[in-house]
Amino acid sequence: MVFLDLALNALASGIALGCIYALVALGLAITFGLLHIPNVAHPALVIAGAYAVVLANMRGIDPILAALVLTLPFYAVGLAFYEFYARAFERRGRGNTLQSLTLFFGVSLIVEIALVVAFGTDLRSVSVPYVGRSFELGLIVLPYRFLVPALLAPAVILGLWLYMTRTHSGLAMRAVAHDERALSISGHDPVAIKRHAFGLATALAVLAGAALVIVGPVDPFAGRVHLGRVFAVVVLAGLGSIPGTLAAAIIIGVAEAFVTAFLSPSWAPGVAFAILLGTLALRPNGIFGTAR
Amino acid sequence: MSWRNFLLVALLVAAAGMVLPRVLENPYYFFAGYVVLQYVVIATGWNILGGYAGYTNFGTSAFFGAGVYTAAFLIKAFEAPLLVQVLAAAGIGMLLGLVTGYLTLRIQGVYFAIATVALVVVLETVVHNSDYLGGASGLTTIAPPAPAWFAGPTQYVFCVMLVLALVAVGIARAIEHSWVGRSLRAIRASEPAAEACGVPTLRMKLAACAISGGVIAMAGAPYPYYASHVDPLSAFSLTIGLNALAMPLIGGTRSWIGPVLGAVLLASVQQITTVTISSEFNILAVGLMLIAFVVLAPEGILGLVAELRERVGRRRATT
């Protein structure tokens, strides 16, 4: 009975955890998965988003509502950021991996230090009415501060998936990943589409930030923990697969939760990466990816 | 620079380093200098795979940490002498490089970088959970008294690191000027083309992974005696991986002197800003330098120098 209890709870919290990971990884699924830009600054942007949400929450605004409003300025930041990146690299022809990784690493350091200077290194959190209470269903107990952000993920992913498959600009975004040349022949500006996609990814960062800060307090360097994991999710999903991102994140979340429950929490961080190493060695296109 | 001149300069540097502890009183200079030299070794090792062969290793700290913990293990288990620690660390690093190479044979570019990040976390988790190596709280490793000549333990590890740096640079230079370096450059330019020309790309990649891993792990070996304490967080720190990639990029990745220049420059700036301003601004300085170099001088200092020479040459040609 204890075993069943433990297993069910591990499953539930693993799925919730996975949903939150998916939210953090979603922006990267667009920038890295579709645009092939290794944006290692994404987790730092997520944390910047979390701090923006904290600021709004200090004025009494609900974190998720605040995040939805904040997507607009973050979208604009993303546009500007892509413009900078494009000017620095793509005009000279494709920048190589080392250079773009280095550029984004530099950006992420600057974001982190900007947060340290502005807010100090203390942990920051938000106050929401449902913190401290739990959702109970039979044997399963799940705190609302996990459940609410976790439910945000499927909603956002569904919205994004509909956008990508049903709308013109969403289709154009997927097309730019396949063949830029053909896209410009058919009368679209690939650079504008990529800029829009990058803006969208940055806007998703603030939603992920809201989810993270509801789950628990954050500090300026909190993004580093997620850096490897989000790449693991995106690679495991197969590049550019939006529903795959959710599935891969849940696989990792559940695996971590089971290791935490049955082995020890200190083994949990290695799980995502052991899965990732295995995937890269055996199936480099990811579980849900098609051949490149 | 011919081999003879190179050896001459190396011997002079080594001799100067050995005399330094007798001249310079303040041990702090050795404490800071050790870090600079350590990064010379790391950046040079990184460049063998990352620069010559074009495979971006993001997980340098996995190799460094492996070296640190190999040494710490040998200290705890056998109280082995430093030379044994260095050799064992290099061996473990080479082995780890080979394993990484085998695991990642099919992937290139960003995927290779991600796989190496995964390696760091997996190793860190293993060390974290190993009680013998001290787990999360780490191990205390007190160095035995240093030979009398060096006046103190810090000066001693500084001189050891100086020798390691010279060895590392010598290895990198030897590779660069031989058929090994040529085939790595061919891999960097185009792997299928290199294969078609008869370069055994697979074996060369494995060799580069192993040598690079060995050199980086070697840099970690004296760390337990330097810091007197090892813990997973500092041994597998992200900063090491970041610096390892930043330094060759700033110096230039095409030649052995590039990583040396980059390491000396960046590590010195870091040491100076940490002391004079704050450790946060040290990170900020790194961030700004990285962006500035990537945007303005993507081939690093070496690229700038080459461009300058070309311009001067052209001006001479026109007048």
The pLDDT tens digits for A55-73 are 988 888 888 888 889 999 9
Residue contacts between A and B (CB atoms, under 8 Å): 130
Interchain pair A102, B245: CB under 8 A: yes
Nearest to A109 among B126, B135, B286 (CB): B286
Interchain pair B110, A101: CB under 8 A: yes
Burial of B77 (0-12, 13-18, 19+ CB in 10 A): exposed
pLDDT number for residue A235: 83
Largest CA distance in chain A: 64
pLDDT of A93 > 60? The answer is no
Along the 319 residues of chain B, how does pLDDT read in single tens digits? 678 888 888 888 888 888 787 777 788 888 889 999 999 999 999 999 988 888 888 889 999 999 999 999 998 888 888 889 999 999 999 999 998 888 776 777 777 888 888 888 888 888 888 888 887 788 888 777 777 777 778 888 898 999 999 999 999 999 999 999 999 999 888 888 888 888 888 899 999 999 999 999 999 999 998 988 898 888 888 888 888 888 998 888 888 899 999 999 888 888 888 777 777 777 787 788 888 888 887 788 888 888 888 888 888 777 6
**What pairing do the DSSP bridges indicate for beta strands A134-137 and A140-143?**
antiparallel
Interchain pair B121, A116: CB under 8 A: no
CA–chain centroid gap for B289, Å, is 19
- The residue among B108, B280, B294 with the most chain A CBs within 10 A of its CB, best to mutate, is B294
Interchain pair B104, A280: CB under 8 A: yes
Interchain pair A277, B118: CB under 8 A: yes
Q: Which of A134, A148, A154, A130 is nearest to A9 (CA)?
A: A134
Q: Rounded CA gap, B220 and B42, in Å?
A: 9
CA distances from B44 to B59, B93, B159, B218 (A): 15, 14, 18, 12
- The residue among B100, B122, B130, B238 with the most chain A CBs within 10 A of its CB, best to mutate, is B122
Interchain pair A266, B124: CB under 8 A: no
Q: Is B217:B92 a contact under the CB 8 Å cutoff?
A: yes
C-alpha distance from A57 to closest chain B C-alpha (Å) = 27
ipTM: 0.77
Token pair in block for residue B40: 């010379």
User: Which of chain B's residues have a Cβ under 8 Å away from the Cβ of A282?
Assistant: none
User: Which of chain B's residues have a Cβ under 8 Å away from the Cβ of A272?
Assistant: 121
Mean pLDDT of chain A, nearest integer:
84
- At A263, is the pLDDT very low, low, confident or very high (cuts 50, 70, 90)? confident
Interchain pair A107, B110: CB under 8 A: no
Q: CA nearest B101 in A: which residue?
A: A281
Q: Is B60:B240 a contact under the CB 8 Å cutoff?
A: yes
CA distances from B102 to B91, B117, B208, B257 (A): 17, 16, 12, 29
- The residue among A91, A100, A113 with the most chain B CBs within 10 A of its CB, best to mutate, is A113
- At A150, is the pLDDT very low, low, confident or very high (cuts 50, 70, 90)? confident
Q: CA nearest B291 in A: which residue?
A: A103
pLDDT number for residue A291: 42
pLDDT number for residue A78: 92
CA dihedral A133, A136, A139, A142 (to 10 degrees): -50
Nearest to B118 among A88, A99, A228 (CB): A228
Burial of B239 (0-12, 13-18, 19+ CB in 10 A): middle
pLDDT number for residue A292: 41
User: Which of chain A's residues have a Cβ under 8 Å away from the Cβ of B253?
Assistant: 98
**CATH number for the domain whose boundaries are B3-318:** 1.10.3470
Residues B261-282, buried b or exposed e (16+ Cβ, 10 A)? bbbbbbbeebbebbeeeeebbb
pLDDT number for residue B97: 93
Q: Rounded CA gap, B201 and B211, in Å?
A: 15
Q: Rounded CA gap, A261 and A265, in Å?
A: 7
pLDDT of A1 > 70? The answer is no
Comparing A120 with B42, the larger pLDDT belongs to B42
- Domain spans of chain A, in order of start: 2-282
Quick one: residue B214, left, alpha or beta (phi over 0 = left, psi -120 to 50 = alpha)? alpha
